[in-house]
């Protein structure tokens, strides 16, 4: 019996190894909100 369905997500721990290029869109939260951004790497 399946009790858990895992939704496909970007693994943040992995992104620590291959992220940080700085090309993604600058965001304002007052392009609002970091979570809404797309990675551009």
Q: Given the rule CB under 8 A, which residues bind other proteins?
A: 1-13, 15-16, 18-20, 22-41
Q: What's the number of CA atoms in the CB half-sphere (13 Å) around residue 29?
A: 3
In whole angstroms, the minimum distance from the beta carbon of 41 to other proteins comes to: 7
> What is the C-alpha separation between 35 and 25, in angstroms, rounded?
11
> What is the C-alpha separation between 13 and 5, in angstroms, rounded?
20
In whole angstroms, the minimum distance from the beta carbon of 17 to other proteins comes to: 9
In whole angstroms, the minimum distance from the beta carbon of 14 to other proteins comes to: 9
């Amino acid at each position: 019996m399946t009790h858990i369905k895992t939704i496909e997500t970007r693994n943040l721990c992995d992104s620590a190894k291959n992220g940080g290029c700085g090309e993604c869109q600058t965001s304002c939260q007052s392009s609002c909100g970091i979570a809404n951004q797309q990675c551009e790497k």
